[in-house]
Structure 1
Amino acid sequence: MVDAGRVSVADGTRPADVRLRRVELPALAQLCLGYRAAAELRATGGLVCDDAELGLIDVLFPAL
């Protein structure tokens, strides 16, 4: 969740807007730093999430 510029992680007991099933550490670093797009990381298997249709990951972490 994002509130006042801070991101918090849901503990799994509440519904989430974005659910990551699996993410590799190098992929997470590349995503957060904007080196690679989420679609690219999905294609290589470094990122597996449930929001592929909504594109929330793509909006939250745009490639620079």
Structure 2
Amino acid sequence: MQPGKFGGCKTCFKATRKKSSCILYSGVFILFICGLAFGYFFIFPNILSFLINLGSDLMTISFTADKISF
């Protein structure tokens, strides 16, 4: 067994598979980050406003930070 980068043995991927898997994993990572950004900037504000409007006739909603001490 020849020493390699990963634990002392060679990887099982050929050069073309290594390149395509790097492209695939990079694309998956980018799509994951885009999904997080979409949820944070589009989905979360809409759901928050819906939940605030849902209970607006039942209670007074106030966002305060008076109880927080650092």
User: What TM-score range do you get, normalising by the shorter chain?
Assistant: under 0.3
Structure number with the bigger relative contact order (C-alpha 8 A, sep ≥ 6) is 1
Larger Rg: 2
